[in-house]
Amino acid sequence: MANHTHVQNPKVDVQYRRKKNAEEMKHQIISFTLMIFLTLIAFFAVGYEGFSAWFAVPFILLLAVVQVIFQLYYFMHMSHKGHELPALFLYGGVVVAFVTVWAFLTIVWI
């Protein structure tokens, strides 16, 4: 089926694949550096006394979301082809969970 794109003959397009891999490696290193940088900012945001909790908590949550996206797309290969369905189910789960929590926070709250 279409999902078997990774089962290829290793001898085909060695040159092209090497270039691709190098490019991917570059992306991974960039995102890894960014992730460490974001983590440092998060520590700073919590540690710096000029920021109140009302700023720091949503801010580090936002950074966390960015990190999850980096993780999924650059390290777990969701940016590659053939990952449409995992993405669909991931986002489906996110939507369902979000709507449920949102309903609790806005209209139900126990």
Partner 1 sequence: MSTLARKKGVGAVIWDYLTTVDHKKIAILYLIAGGIFFLLGGLEAMIIRIQLAVPNNDFISAGFYNEVLTMHGTTMIFLAAMPLVFAMMNAVVPIQIGARDVAFPFLNSLGFWLFFFGGVFLNLSWFLGGAPDAGWTSYASLSLASPTHGIDFYVLGLQISGLGTLIGGINFLVTIINMRAPGMTYMRMPMFTWATFVTSALILFAFPPLTVGLIFMMMDRLFGGNFFDPALGGNTIIWEHLFWIFGHPEVYILVLPAFGIFSEIFATFSRKRLFGYSSMVFATVLIGFLGFMVWAHHMFTVGMGPIANAIFAVATMAIAVPTGIKIFNWLFTMWGGSIRFTTPMMYAVAFIPSFVIGGVTGVMNATAAADYQYHDSYFVVAHFHYVIVGGVVFALLAGAHYWWPKMFGKMLDEKLGKVTFWLFFIGFHLTFFIQHFLGLMGMPRRVFTFLPGQGFETGNMISTIGAFFMAAGTIVLLANVVITTVKGKRVGNDPWEDGRTLEWAVSSPAPEYNFAQTPLVRGLDAYWIEKMEGKKGLTPAEPLGDIHMPNPSILPFVISLGLFVAAFGFLFHQDHAWGTPVGIVGLLITLGAMFFRSIIDDHGFHIHKEEIMEAEKKGAGA
Residues that bind partner 1 (CB under 8 A): 1, 3, 85, 89, 92-93, 96, 99-100, 103-104, 107-108, 110
Q: Which residues 6+ apart lie within 8 Å of 23 measured at CB?
A: none
Residue given tokens 């590659």 in the structure block:
80
The least distance separating partner 1 from the CB of residue 37, rounded to whole angstroms, comes to 34
Q: Based on CB atoms, which residue is closest to partner 1, 27 or 83? A: 83
Give the helix ranges, DSSP H, for the chain. 14-47, 53-70, 84-103
Closest CA relative to residue 63, chosen from 78, 47, 82, 44: 44
Closest CA relative to residue 75, chosen from 14, 7, 29: 29
The least distance separating partner 1 from the CB of residue 108, rounded to whole angstroms, comes to 5
Q: Based on CB atoms, which residue is closest to partner 1, 17 or 80? A: 80
Q: Based on CB atoms, which residue is closest to partner 1, 58 or 93? A: 93
Distance CA 38, CA 22 (A): 24
The least distance separating partner 1 from the CB of residue 107, rounded to whole angstroms, comes to 4
Q: Based on CB atoms, which residue is closest to partner 1, 14 or 108? A: 108
